[in-house]
A and B are shown apart, each in its own frame.
Chain A
Amino acid sequence: MNTIKYATAGFATVLALAAGGVPSASAEELIIGRSVSTTGMDPGFLREAATLVDNIFDTLILRDQDMQLVPGLAVSWTAIDDTTWEFELREGVTFQNGEPFNAEAVKYTLDRVLDPDANAPTISYIRTVAGAEVVDEFTVRVTTGAPDPLLPTRMSRYPTYIVPPGYVEEVGQEEFARSPVGTGPYAMTDFAPDEHVVMEANADYWRGAPSIDTVTWRVIPEATARIAALLSGEVHLVESVPADLVDLVEGEDGVELVQVANGGLTIYFGLKMDEPPLDDARVRRALSLAVDRAAIAETLLRGFATPKGTQVGPFDFGYLDLAPPEQDLEQARTLLAEAGYPDGFEIRMQGTRRYINGAEVSQAIVQQFGEIGVQVELEVPEWSVYIQQVPAGEQAPIYMLGWGSTQTLDADAAIYAIFRSGEPYSTVSIPEMDALLDESRQVIDPAAREAILHQIQELAAEQVPVITLHQEDSLYARRDNVVFDGRADARIPVYDITLQ
């Protein structure tokens, strides 16, 4: 139980030369091109994706390549009652500054985020946790306010990356975000904001020393420049490859596309159900039937998205394989007529460029709605304004959003926040749905919970609280000597990457 086998190809240290003689990665160095900047690396106070801190810190529980929960800094865990979980910790682990890892560190990590005065932005991920208690140096108990079936999952993601209490107290929170110290495979050595972050291998890492010595994370916001940097060999791996540039990557020698099917967000159009005409389920179903999901995914998204019949992702616990509705304009028109709109209606809609070809997808759907007589006025607002309108209820009656569950790989993350009435990002109000959602958060037994989650998805397919479109793939591109297949949870664990 407490030994995990990790395939590390640490022997592959042969220099690989890319075609054309462009400078390529030696076995020691990896340069990764990202689309977004890093502002800070304090896992408890993170306001961005955890891609970098994933490599510096460890959680009590890890997720392996197959997305199974496996021991991390904890060697085992058990629920001793409905609301108490006991973790037995790994001994002999030290932080990169030499500080010992122990139960105190776990308690400190959780307390720091749970402290109401700290206003931790990440608190919602562990909001069910009531507190942590040190039993002995290597045993810790975590209690929850109510039964929480997702607790082990919560302990596998930031903000539960374990931080060194002594160091954090010594340097303060602001400095910690700039020079983080964890137990992870890499230690940060240089941070130039908006430019790069450099990490060096932690030779004393408890899972064994990493095979890649130095990782440099460069920020290249403009997609064309990012791909150009990969093609020219300046970087060895890039994230966020636009679907439209895939041909370019595939046509070039020395670079490969990495496609993680269903690795991205599930895109949908939210519907304001509290006002006509969208309060009528027939109208919602008609709109959903007007959309040609297959054509959009195949053409506009170039096949790098899967049409979906449910908001839940196939890797999620509780996934129900519902077929995406086929376009049926005849039935859509009939439904509209039944609902009292034989000639359609006019309505406002908001799309966003945030998602893959989001503006283009929106325009195509406007046209498809037009075919059943629904005249749409489209707006594509700036993201920062839009994302503030949505939780404030100021968005258009039909609005585009993407929702993901890579944080937890559980259906709960994919549906609760957007289906439960009263949640900031939900415009759904179906009492039966609310009851099922509430129940799903209290049932510990996995089988019973799964049944409830399936029921919710069936209800959604019938009531159409949102128009589910497709789930995006996540696309990376790599030089062909970099061994990396991508992960369903969107991490880039350099520890598992090798160079040939």
Chain B
Amino acid sequence: MGQYLLNRSLQSLIVLFGVSAIVFYSLHLTGDPAALMLPPDASREEIDRFRQAMGFDDPILVQHVRYLAGVLQGDLGTSLRFQRPALELVLERLPATALLAVVAMAWSTALGFVFGVVGAVRRDTAVDLIVRVIALSGQAVPVFWLGLLLIIVFALRLGWLPTSGYGDLEHLVLPAITLGAYYMSAVTRLVRANLIEALAQDYVRTARAKGLSAWRIVIRHGLRNALIPVVTVQGMYFAALLGGALITEIIFAWPGIGRLAVQAIQNRDFPLVQAVVLFAAVVFVVANLLVDIAYAILNPRIRLS
């Protein structure tokens, strides 16, 4: 176990280095943001002076080494736009995004389970088909389409909920529905497939032969087996949501990491872009590591190797 953890941690470090290098070079090899940071009437000399002060005229390798040295000391650089430490800005937005992601995943997982179980138990029937089409519609409408539709219907026409913003519970409802819809489809599909698989196992057939009702079999034997792959994927989804909820956050004016990322990219705020991507990657890597360990504990048949 210790050896395994060491290996995995080493691998994770390599991955993180790779991620940061890719982002660093794709940003820096395409020009610097000096002109973007200054007012439009800035002269060429003023732009050059600013560029020099920010260190953008050093060779790119020097800049990369300087960046890595900073990262090793926990310094992800200072945002050009905010003039504040980039990591601090990311962490400041974390609670809003995490709240949204957790609530979105909670309802989508719950509903996905229900749909998935119904689909699996009544598989290959019209009921199964209808349930799947309903679940799939969560994936079939683009996020912004769904978001705007919800705003128009529930906030503007019916006046039940606020149109956008962050704060009370009522602000959370529409964005959470919007963000979770896609994952609801995914969970439905996953639960259905795994449950069908589990129900085809020999011991389940035996149970059925003994006369246990279909629902009891599903609950007793099927769900536990279907749970593990769902948990595995949830870890990855959660990580993806932290950086990937940007469209939902834009539509609902939600002050999260995704919106920070879009603004950072639009402003070519290099240190901030790097910090956001690196943060998302760290969450992803750690989530995967935890899932793998949990998996090994849940399922002793799998040896860590």
Contacts and interface: CB of A to CB of B under 8 A. Distances in A.
B41 interface: yes
Given A194-B255, A222-B250, A384 B165 contact: no
A61 interface: no
Interface stretch (A95-103, A420-428, A444-452): A420-428
Interface string A207-230: 000000000001111101100110
A124 interface: yes
9 contacts: A37-B263, A124-B41, A194-B259, A194-B260, A220-B164, A224-B148, A225-B164, A228-B151, A384-B267
A388 B35 contact: yes
Given A221-B253, A222-B251, A231-B156, A124 B39 contact: yes
Contacts of B267: 384
A388 B255 contact: no
Contacts of B53: 119
A142 interface: no
A131 interface: no
Contact of B255 (A122, A192, A416, A425): A192
A225 B151 contact: yes
A403 B40 contact: yes
Interface of A: 22, 37, 39-40, 45, 47, 116, 119, 121-125, 127, 173-174, 177, 192-195, 218-222, 224-225, 228-229, 231-232, 234, 382-385, 387-392, 403, 413, 416-417, 422-425
Nearest to B268: A384
B210 interface: no
A409 B263 CA distance: 29
Q: Which 9 pairs of residues, A with B, have the shortest CB-CB distance?
A: A194-B255, A195-B255, A391-B35, A228-B163, A124-B42, A220-B253, A229-B163, A119-B53, A225-B164
B296 interface: no
B39 A228 contact: no
Contacts, number: 136
B237 to A, nearest CB: 24
Contacts of A222: 148, 164, 250-251, 253
Contacts of B35: 387-388, 390-392, 424
B81 interface: yes
A392 B34 CA distance: 11
B37 interface: yes
Contact of A392 (B31, B82, B260): B31
B166 interface: yes
Contacts of A220: 163-165, 253
A424 B47 contact: yes
Interface residues of B, number: 51
Given A39-B82, A40-B82, A387-B35, 12 more contacts: A121-B38, A192-B255, A194-B93, A194-B255, A194-B259, A194-B260, A218-B165, A220-B163, A232-B155, A388-B31, A403-B40, A425-B40
B252 interface: yes
A161 B235 CA distance: 50
B266 A383 contact: yes
Contacts of A387: 35-36
Contacts of B265: 384
B36 A193 contact: no
Interface string B146-170: 0010011001100100111110000
Contacts of B41: 124-125, 413, 416-417
B295 interface: no
Given A45-B83, A174-B83, A388-B31, A228 B152 contact: yes
B224 interface: no
A37 B53 CA distance: 26
Given A194-B255, A228-B163, A123 B46 contact: yes
Interface in B71-101: 81-84, 89, 92-93
Nearest to B156: A228
B33 interface: yes
A228 B251 CA distance: 11
A67 B162 CA distance: 38
A387 B32 CA distance: 11
Interface string B234-263: 000000000000000011110110011001
A127 B255 contact: no
Interface string B163-192: 111100000000000000000000000000
A215 to B, nearest CB: 16
Contacts of B166: 192, 195
A427 to B, nearest CB: 13
B11 interface: no
B43 interface: yes
A384 B266 contact: yes
Given A225-B151, A384-B36, A417-B40, A193 B46 contact: no
A388 B156 contact: no
Given A47-B37, A224-B148, A388-B36, A234 B43 contact: no
B90 to A, nearest CB: 11
Contacts of A413: 41
B216 interface: no
A218 B36 contact: no
Contacts of A232: 155-156, 159, 162-163
Contacts of B82: 39-40, 177, 193
Interface string B125-149: 0000000000000000000000010
Contact of A229 (B46, B47, B81, B164): B164
Contacts of B256: 194
A249 to B, nearest CB: 13
Given A193-B255, A224-B151, A384-B268, A22 B46 contact: no
Contacts of A122: 39
A431 B35 CA distance: 26
Contacts of A234: 162-163, 165
A119 B50 contact: yes
A60 to B, nearest CB: 20
B268 A422 contact: no
Nearest to A391: B35
Contacts of A388: 31-33, 35-36, 268
A423 B159 contact: no
Contacts of B152: 224, 228
Contacts of B36: 384, 387-388
Nearest to B161: A232
Given A194-B255, A424-B43, A47 B268 contact: no
A30 to B, nearest CB: 16
Contacts of A193: 82, 89, 92-93, 255
B155 A228 contact: yes
B44 interface: yes
Given A218-B165, A384-B265, A225 B252 contact: yes
Contact of A124 (B38, B159, B260, B263): B38
B208 interface: no
B205 interface: no
A219 B44 CA distance: 33
Contacts of A391: 35, 44, 47
Contacts of A231: 156
